[in-house]
Structures are given as structure tokens and as C-alpha cells.
Amino acid sequence: MNDFMDRDYHAKPLLGVEVNDDDAQRQRVTSPYDRRQVVGSVQWATRAQAEQAVEIAWQAFPRWSETPVEERAAILERHADLMETHLAELMTLCSREGGKLLTDGVDEIREAVDFCRYYAARSRELFAEPTSLPGPTGESNELMLGGKGVFAAISPWNFPVAIFTGQLVAAAVAGNTVVAKPAEQTSLVANRVIELLFEAGMPRDVVQLLPGDGPTVGSVLSSDPRITGVVFTGSTATAQIINRALAARENAPLPTLIAETGGMNAMIVDSTALPEQVVADVVHSAFQSAGQRCSALRVLYLQDDIADRVIEILRGAMAELRIGDPRDLGTDVGPVIDEEAREGLLAHVEKMKAEGRLLAEAQLDPAHTDNGTFVAPMAFRIDGIASMESEQFGPLLHIARYRADKLDEVIDAINAKGFGLTFGVHSRNESFTDYVASRIRVGNVYVNRDIIGAVVGVQPFGGQGFSGTGPKAGGPHYLLRFATEKTRTINT
Ligand code: ADP
């Protein structure tokens, strides 16, 4: 057996200077699928360490921004190679610490690898040479891209390797230094990724790691005038707190905020759709990763004529779902991230059940789920997306029926909700899919398939409105938001 299956991991602030290991500050990390299993411990950063990290990154910026882009890109490529070599370890740690299915873990590490290679390639295209611009005779004009300064990279627990890595390598390859704050729940895997990044040659003062409490570390970062920008993925509410803190700084340059936030993703199915395919795609979109994806399906609109058939097949499919240990290859749905998440979801379940809205429910087997933070996948009947008060970040699906003559009202209701992340449409009528897809205001539209794919460079990911600022992660424009533009006009 590989030792990473049961190794004790430890994470602590990595600041480019030696940090004392403080036993008193250590917090125990246990597994979401079995709270009796210890994965390791983490020493959270203090406010003083957060300030120190910013200072080190600030000092490192001038030298790093002048480091040739080829050198910066080569570090990302070596990091990608190292993550591939350590894929088994990283995906196992994602399972042990974050409760991810091993198959989700593979996708996750592959996505992080893709981010590194894609941003390395894109940085060479964008940053290596100045772009010549047309101009009047007698002068030449050039445009150069360079780093902006120090970026804070604040990431969530649901993609603890892919999003965490994607944010910080994008900022770094564009010439910025970075202070990275991973989510509280997934510090161990973040620490391991940073160790590999240092092994790949990233200078230790260019990327700092601050495991820690969001409001404590986050408020230091977002109020420090030396922070040029924040790249953030998490809830819309936290993005707004960060935005306000950045705006309230005095004597600070106007900041860049790149935020990818919540979703309230919908799918519309008309009566020409194939019910079996719809159900396969709905189950995948709503319950994969226990519904803990920004892209997951939350509200399914079924045209009246097809609704009963789809719900009947869905009930059968949900009864088949196996819920349990994410390391078991036969498991379909693992735990949710922690007790707080479980309690929040169960409060919603209770309310929906009390209102008589339960349509379908998967079964938990206590032998596999009693010691972890599990929530059974469920589907509830609702009147429409307008009644959804908040995103339920777990395996809970909401189903509404609509009449064909009310389609425009459904589209308007989805758009009015203001969360424009992912959207799906299922129909064999091409003019229907074209009509719906063109009117819906979201970042990623999926036609006749599930709604949770985001392949780097193929389906760049990101929303609009309450779902984020753009540009899309893994897309051709992403690095540009991390860069300054400087022109040079020469009288010839
Ligand atoms: P989630 O609901 O997905 O946990 P959050 O927005 O709370 O979403 O968390 C996303 C990231 O934001 C985490 O790394 C968390 O620690 C961090 N965070 C939480 N509160 C703050 C804050 N006030 N300032 C900056 N970062 C924060």
C-alpha cells in the first residue's frame, strides 16, 4: 500500500522565511466520510503572518516581474509534470481531506495540470514579445503586457487543487507575486501542491501560502494597500465583503477583483427530449460531487407533457445511487464537506418535506454513512426558480413544471434571478434549443448534455451577474486581467 493512503499530513504558513511550527496552534483535520479518521493537522496563519506574507511578496515583485516569461512558464510546466507524477497521492488526499470521489479527484488533478500547461502556453503568446500596433508614419507603436503587483488568491474547498492552482499560477505567470489563501477545509492538499510548486522551481518569496480562517486572513489581505488585486472563488456574499474592503482602502491603487461566485443553475426540457437521456444528464449534473459544484444543476424545468415520465425514471435512477466512502470505486455520491454544510442542507430538506414537496429520495445505508457528513440526494417540487431563496450547495434538486405557452416566463424568471453561470436545454427541436440558448443570460450553455463540463481551453468557465466578474478561467482572455498594459511610442 502507498504510504499516502494513511500518512499524517501537516500544513502551515509557507512564507518564504522559516515559520515556527506551533503545536498549540495545530488543528486536527478529519475525513468528511468518517470523522474518526485523522488526515493530519494544520497550523493556521495569524494576522501578523498574513501581513508578513504580503510584505515578502511586495519585496519580491520587481525581480519576479522582470524574470523572462519563458522562465516563469517553464516553472508551470514542471509543476504540471510533478502533479502528474503525484496524481495518485493528490487525488487520494482530495478524497481523504475533502471527501471527493477518487474519479472526481482524477479530473481535478488533470484540470490543475491543464491550467498550468494552458497558461504557460498562453503567457508565451501574450507576454514574450511586444505587439506592434498600426500608427501614423514617422512613429512606431508597441504594446507590452506585464505584472500588476501582489495578488491575493482566495479559493474554495470544492476544487481544492484545480481552482487553487489555476488562480495562483495564472497570477504568477503573468508576472505577479501571490499570497494564496486556501479554504479552511482543504489546507493539506493546498500545502502539498505548493511544496510541488517549489520543487518545480517557483521562488519561495514569489508564492506565499496562508492556510487559515477566511475572515481573519482575508480581511488582512483585502485591506492591505500593497495588494493590487484579488482573485477569488467562493460565495457571492464573501466576494461582496472583499469588494467593499478593497474599495475602503486609503492610499491604495484601484484594485482588480476577479471573482467567480455562486450559481442557481437551471435546465429546461421540452416535450421532444429523450427522457432516459434527460435523466442520465440530470443525475450527473445535480448529484455528481454530491452537488458541490458551482456548475451543478439546481432547478429543472420540465414541460408538462413529459414531466411525469421524467420524474418516474428519475425516481428509479436515484434509488440506484450508492452513497458512501468516496475511495470505494462503486460509490456514486460521497459526503458533503462538513457538519455545517450538512446542517444547512438538512434544514432546507426539513422545510421542503414539511411543505409536502418531496418527489424522490435516494437511500443512505447507515453502515456506510453513519460516521460521516452525508446527505441523501433528493428532488423537490417547486413552482419556479423565483421561490429559491439561496443556492443549496449539495445534492438537492428542485423540479418545476411549465406549459409550452409559458416558456418566455420561465426564461425571464431564470434571467431575473441574476445568477448567470451554467444552463442546460434538452430538446430534439433545434429551433427550440437555439431560441432558449440565445435568450438565456449565463456564462456556459450546454445543449442536450449534462451541464458540468469545463475543459480548460475548450469550455472556459465562468458566469455573469451575481455569478462573477469574468473573465473565464481556462479561457484565452483570463491572463489579461492579471496584466498591466504599457505602450511605447517611438519617433522614427
Ligand atoms: P463557501 O461558502 O464556498 O465556503 P466562502 O465564500 O465562505 O464560500 O469561502 C471561499 C473562500 O473565501 C475561503 O477560502 C474562505 O476562507 C474565504 N473567506 C471567507 N470569508 C472571507 C472574508 N471575509 N474575506 C476574505 N476571504 C474570506
- C-alpha dihedral, 475 to 477 to 482 to 485, nearest 10°: 160
Residue 69 has pLDDT above 90, yes or no: yes
Which residue blocks in 388-491 are alpha helix, DSSP H? Answer: 407-417, 430-439
How confident is residue 24, by pLDDT bands cut at 50, 70 and 90?
low
Could you identify the residue written with the cell 496563519? 45
Instruction: Give the pLDDT confidence score for residue 297 in this predicted structure.
Output: 98
Residue 4 burial (CB count, 10 A): 16
Instruction: Give the pLDDT confidence score for residue 19 in this predicted structure.
Output: 81
Name the active-site residue from 89, 108, 184, 294: 294
Instruction: Give the pLDDT confidence score for residue 316 in this predicted structure.
Output: 98
CA of residue 160 to ligand 1 center, whole Å: 13
All three cell numbers of 438, joined, read 440565445
Please enumerate in sequence order all residues whose Cβ is within 8 A of that of 298, keeping only pairs 6 or more positions apart, or say none. 263, 264, 265, 266, 286, 388, 391, 392, 396, 397, 398
- Give, for ligand 1, the residue of 27, 42, 151, 154 to mutate: max count of ligand atoms closer than 8 Å to Cβ: 154
The secondary element (H helix, E strand) that includes residue 378 is: strand 378-381
**Collapsed DSSP state (helix, strand, coil) of residue 323:** strand
Ligand 1 atom at minimal distance to the Cα of residue 212: 16
Considering only CA atoms, which residue is closest to atom 26 of ligand 1?
218
How confident is residue 429, by pLDDT bands cut at 50, 70 and 90?
very high
**Is 214 a pocket residue for ligand 1 (Cβ < 6 Å)?**
yes
Residue 187 has pLDDT above 80, yes or no: yes
**Is 238 a pocket residue for ligand 1 (Cβ < 6 Å)?**
yes
Spatial separation of the C-alpha atoms in residues 457 and 311, rounded to whole Å: 35
Give the model confidence (pLDDT) of 361-412 as tens digits.
999 999 989 999 999 999 999 999 999 999 999 999 999 999 999 999 999 9
Please enumerate in sequence order all residues whose Cβ is within 8 A of that of 424, keeping only pairs 6 or more positions apart, or say none. 265, 266, 267, 268, 281, 285, 297, 445, 446, 447, 449, 450, 451
Backbone angles phi, psi at 158, to 5 degrees: -80, -25
Of the chain, the percentage scoring pLDDT greater than 90 comes to 93
Instruction: Give the pLDDT confidence score for residue 1 in this predicted structure.
Output: 56
Strand 227-233 relative to strand 256-260, pairing: parallel
Considering only CA atoms, which residue is closest to atom 16 of ligand 1?
214
Q: Closest Cα partner for 483 from 135, 109, 151? A: 151
Instruction: Give the pLDDT confidence score for residue 25 in this predicted structure.
Output: 77
Instruction: Give the pLDDT confidence score for residue 174 in this predicted structure.
Output: 98
Lowest mean pLDDT among 16-20, 58-62, 180-184: 16-20
All three cell numbers of 422, joined, read 451554467
Q: Is 260 considered catalytic here?
A: yes
- Give, for ligand 1, the residue of 157, 159, 238, 289 to mutate: max count of ligand atoms closer than 8 Å to Cβ: 238
Ligand 1 atom at minimal distance to the Cα of residue 235: 6
The structure's pTM equals 0.97
Residue 201: what residue type? Answer: G
Spatial separation of the C-alpha atoms in residues 327 and 41, rounded to whole Å: 21
CA of residue 368 to ligand 1 center, whole Å: 30
Could you identify the residue written with the cell 455520491? 333
In terms of C-beta distances under 8 Å and separation of at least 24 residues, what long-range contacts does 1-8 make, across chains too? 2/88, 2/89, 2/92, 4/88, 4/89, 4/92, 4/93, 5/92, 7/40, 8/38, 8/39, 8/40, 8/41
Could you identify the residue written with the cell 476544487? 159
Spatial separation of the C-alpha atoms in residues 320 and 82, rounded to whole Å: 38
Considering only CA atoms, which residue is closest to atom 27 of ligand 1?
214
How far is residue 77 from each of residues 73, 118, 119, 173, 202, measured CA to CA in Å? 6, 9, 9, 11, 11
CA of residue 105 to ligand 1 center, whole Å: 22
Contact 361, 319 (CB under 8 A): no
How confident is residue 5, by pLDDT bands cut at 50, 70 and 90?
confident
Q: What is the 3-state secondary structure (H, E, C) of 126-154?
A: HHCCCEEECCCCCEEEEEEEEECCEEEEE
**Is 224 a pocket residue for ligand 1 (Cβ < 6 Å)?**
no
Name the active-site residue from 260, 320, 350, 430: 260
**Is 183 a pocket residue for ligand 1 (Cβ < 6 Å)?**
yes
**Is 155 a pocket residue for ligand 1 (Cβ < 6 Å)?**
yes
CA of residue 215 to ligand 1 center, whole Å: 7
CA of residue 232 to ligand 1 center, whole Å: 9
All three cell numbers of 118, joined, read 494552458
**Is 242 a pocket residue for ligand 1 (Cβ < 6 Å)?**
yes
CA of residue 292 to ligand 1 center, whole Å: 15
The secondary element (H helix, E strand) that includes residue 393 is: none
Spatial separation of the C-alpha atoms in residues 465 and 261, rounded to whole Å: 9
Instruction: Give the pLDDT confidence score for residue 163 in this predicted structure.
Output: 98
**Is 160 a pocket residue for ligand 1 (Cβ < 6 Å)?**
no
Instruction: Give the pLDDT confidence score for residue 396 in this predicted structure.
Output: 98
Q: Is 389 considered catalytic here?
A: no
Instruction: Give the pLDDT confidence score for residue 247 in this predicted structure.
Output: 97
- The residues pairing with 470 across neighbouring beta strands, listed in sequence order, are none
